[in-house]
């Protein structure tokens, strides 16, 4: 392999042409979303076992991604390497499974060699190929055409547009199946508890709020000095003010204190009822923590008080709590 000199302009032109070819290949697939595609979705929905995805070479890499996407969106699935299948891994397939086999040519010997064994086990076979007349396409129960007119490779050899098309068609199958299954964002979060999305969709205000002895609160009969001592002890930069029944009457924050000092108020003699902010912004403990973050951002406050349906104070949280939890 002899390096060749190529100008920056040629590199940019080739790169743009690659994207144009692959984009055109994906757009062509729109015309092929037909009854066979619907049958494939129905077959996945009716599967009582697992979806086994298989493919050789670059098709195998695409198959691995499709299997992972199915598994994370409500359809139990795994990838099986076709070369390993003929050396024992076929034992993982049962008659209640569905096999999705990928091969651009539809003639990959590793895939073709295990097709009779898959069918003998009674598993349904969905083929995704670039050749509807191929052996794999003919033997499959359902065939999805992922063919492309040309590869983006200048020699029309390296799998480029064909793998992009197979990936896009696989994504379409995944998305259609998860919607038909009624898979929700909350379901997705439950399969991704360690990620940012899981934290955003699974963490509620009740999981983060300060309660009990950690909750800064004084009665409305308290002095400002007592309120400041409570704020210092609890360290949230605020304190709630409640009446004798525990219902929220107001809030006092570090920002309110600074504004009082600008007005030369005597903090030693003032009463909290005279300086607190009435009708503070509140939130329910049952809402998502990400909603609390949104409220804080929209109202430009750093903390929120949590009340129940009767207006009784139940908790408090601030932006630092959300940051520590990875919600924002």
pLDDT at 45 over 70: yes
pLDDT at position 193 over 60: no
pLDDT > 80? residue 153: yes
Q: What is the pLDDT of residue 47?
A: 96
Residue 260: predicted pLDDT: 87
Burial class (CB in 10 A: 0-12, 13-18, 19+), 270: middle
Position 315 scores a pLDDT of: 94
- b/e map 52-77, b = 16+ CB within 10 Å: bbbbbebbbbbbbbbbebbbbbbbeb
- Does the pLDDT of residue 29 top 90, yes or no? yes
The mean pLDDT value for 108-119 works out to 92
Q: pLDDT value at position 3?
A: 67
Residue 115 has pLDDT above 80, yes or no: yes
Q: Is the pLDDT of residue 328 over 90?
A: no
- pLDDT of 155 > 90? The answer is no
Domains for the chain: give ranges and CATH numbers. Answer: 8-183 (3.40.50.10490), 205-324 (3.10.580.10)
Percent of the chain with pLDDT over 90: 72
What b/e string do you get for 153-184 counting C-beta neighbours within 10 Å, with b at 16 or more? eeeeeebbbbbbbbbbbbebbbebbbeeeebe
pLDDT tens per residue, range 243-284: 988 899 999 999 999 888 888 778 788 999 999 999 899 999
The whole-model pTM stands at: 0.68
Average pLDDT, the chain: 91
pLDDT above 80 (res 194): no
Cβ(146)–Cβ(130) below 8 Å = yes
- Answer whether residue 190 shows pLDDT above 90: no
The residue among 246 and 164 whose pLDDT is bigger is 164
Lowest mean pLDDT among 38-42, 82-86, 100-104, 186-190: 186-190
Taking the C-alpha atoms of residue 231 and residue 252, their distance in angstroms, rounded to an integer, is 9
Q: Which residue from 167, 204, 228, 164 is spatially nearest to 314, judged by alpha carbons?
A: 204
Residues 146-167: what's their mean pLDDT?
93
| pLDDT value, residue 86 | 79
Partnered with residue 77 across adjacent β-strands are: 51
């Amino acid at each position: 392999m002899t390096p060749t000199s190529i100008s920056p302009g040629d590199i940019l032109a080739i790169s743009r042409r690659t994207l144009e070819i692959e984009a055109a290949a994906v757009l062509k697939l729109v015309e092929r979303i037909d009854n066979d595609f619907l049958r494939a979705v129905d077959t996945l929905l009716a599967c009582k076992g697992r979806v086994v995805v298989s493919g050789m070479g670059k098709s195998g890499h695409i198959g691995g991604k499709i299997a992972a996407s199915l598994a994370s969106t409500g359809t139990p699935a795994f990838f099986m390497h076709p070369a390993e299948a003929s050396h024992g891994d076929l034992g993982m397939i049962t008659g209640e499974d569905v096999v999705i086999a990928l091969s651009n040519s539809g003639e990959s010997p590793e895939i073709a060699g295990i097709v009779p064994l898959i069918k003998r086990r009674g598993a349904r076979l969905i083929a995704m190929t670039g050749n509807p007349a191929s052996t794999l396409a003919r033997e499959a129960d359902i065939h999805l055409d992922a063919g492309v007119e040309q590869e983006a490779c200048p020699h029309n050899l390296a799998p480029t547009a064909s793998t992009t098309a197979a990936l896009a068609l696989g994504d379409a199958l995944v998305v259609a199946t998860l919607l038909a299954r009624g898979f929700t964002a909350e379901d997705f979060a439950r399969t991704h508890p360690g990620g940012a999305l899981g934290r955003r969709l699974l963490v509620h205000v009740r999981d983060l709020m300060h309660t009990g002895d950690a909750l800064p609160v004084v009665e409305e009969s308290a002095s400002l000095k007592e309120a400041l001592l409570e704020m210092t002890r609890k360290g949230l930069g605020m304190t709630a003010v409640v009446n004798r029944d525990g219902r929220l009457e107001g809030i006092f924050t570090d920002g309110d204190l600074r504004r009082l000092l600008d007005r030369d108020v005597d903090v030693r003699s003032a009463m909290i009822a005279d300086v607190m902010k009435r009708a503070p912004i509140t939130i329910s403990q049952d809402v998502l923590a990400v909603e609390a973050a949104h409220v804080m951002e929209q109202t430009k406050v750093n903390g929120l008080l949590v009340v129940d349906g009767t207006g009784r104070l139940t908790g408090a949280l601030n932006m630092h709590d959300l940051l520590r939890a990875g919600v924002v």
